[in-house]
Structure 1
Amino acid sequence: MNGILKKILSVALLVLIFGCSEQYRNHGYIPSDEELSSVSVSQDDKNSVIEKLGTPSIGGILNDGNIYFVQSKVLKNSIRASKPIDRQVLVLSFDDNDRLSNIQKFGIDKGKIVILDYRTTPSGLKNMSFLFRLFQNVGGPSAESLLQ
């Protein structure tokens, strides 16, 4: 009987240890630099960009004509809530003729949105508030920390 109890306790301890371990999970998709090199500013239209890069995370929802690819890295722990630790957004802007006019990649540095890469002179985006809403929960206080 004593041997069975030790085995049960050992299994329970292993489940507890591995169940509480932290895991990093990636959500979303951003095309690689190699894939991005296949599209050309002023040459490709919206349909050819989607054909070459795949379906975007967000596009057409905001009615601003841009296509957004979003990728997040989340720290997952079975005890605590998931915590986003990194987020990158690739924004493909189009002109009035649906030609690709700008490619910009945004990320987070110390809680501030920074431009990581761009393929034309950055002139700003028509709907910058969307980016702020998308990044606002990365690096900030979590609901859990506010309750403590």
Structure 2
Amino acid sequence: MPIGYEEERAMTNGSKVGFRSLIIGCGLAFAVACTPIVRNYGYIPTDAELSAVAVGVDTRDTITETFGTPTTTGTVGESAFYYVQSRFETLGPGAPVEVDRQVLAISFNSAGTVSNIERFTLQDGNVVALSRRVTEDSVASNTFLRQLLGSVGRFNAEDLISE
């Protein structure tokens, strides 16, 4: 049965509609894939919450009761509490990028009361180069067979007999 003009035209229009749908679907998928995924980590008290803190009056315990456990503390005698909040964005298949960081440092004096409150941002931060000093283990680099064959000729039979 030969295809008439009307049937051929309907097939052409149908394929055009299918192609348009495919292009629109790919465009939407591309737009959604390029939308950044935002992840927030940590907690930092707001300025309104910080206004309730009295320097010289509040202690470590009252700060912990008010704001919760800090993200980290000072290394020497808990001289400070640090609350850290970070925001990361991931775009497509790329690695996450930190776009915002807030650090609240609450310092304490020797009596344990608040002596200073400071807020830092990502722009205030400095990159710290860590010095990694690793001692290589000579045993790990040698296999059992290498150690066994390496000891051939290193011992003296006289040392074993003389005892």
TM-score scaled by structure 2? 0.57
Partner of 1:81: 95
Partner of 2:147: none
Change (3 A) 1:70 1:4: same
- The reply to whether residue 36 of structure 1 matches residue 50 of structure 2 is yes
Shift of 1:69: 0.7
Partner of 1:97: 111
Shift of 1:54: 1.9
Shift of 1:14: 2.5
Percent of aligned pairs sharing the same letter: 32
Number of aligned positions between the proteins:
113
Task: Give unpaired runs (5+ residues) of structure 2.
Answer: 1-13, 129-163
Partner of 1:48: 62
What is the CA deviation profile of residues 115-136 of structure 1, one whole-angstrom value per residue up to 9, with x for unaligned ones?
xxxxxxxxxxxxxxxxx5xx53
Shift of 1:26: 2.8
Change (3 A) 1:64 1:89: farther
State the one-letter code of the partner of 2:127.
Q
2:84 to 70, 77, 99: 70
Contact residue 20 and residue 79 of structure 1 kept, 8 A: no
Shift of 1:42: 0.9
What is the CA deviation profile of residues 16-69 of structure 1, one whole-angstrom value per residue up to 9, with x for unaligned ones?
320222244332211011111111111011010111122212126x34511101
Change (3 A) 1:30 1:5: same
The CA RMSD over aligned residues, in Å, is 2.6
Determine helix, strand or coil for the equivalent of 2:28. Answer: helix
Change (3 A) 1:64 1:107: farther
Shift of 1:73: 2.4
- The reply to whether residue 26 of structure 1 matches residue 40 of structure 2 is yes
- The reply to whether residue 136 of structure 1 matches residue 127 of structure 2 is yes
Shift of 1:94: 0.9
Shift of 1:107: 1.7
Shift of 1:13: 4.1
Which whole-Å CA distance do the structure 1 matches of 2:101 and 2:122 have between them?
7
After superposing the two structures, state which structure 1 stretch, 68-77 or 19-28, moved more: 19-28
Shift of 1:6: 6.4
Tell me which protein shows more helix as a share of its residues. Answer: 2
What is the CA deviation profile of residues 95-145 of structure 1, one whole-angstrom value per residue up to 9, with x for unaligned ones?
122111111111243xxx2xxxxxxxxxxxxxxxxxx5xx539xxxxxxxx
Which whole-Å CA distance do the structure 2 matches of 1:53 and 1:37 have between them?
12
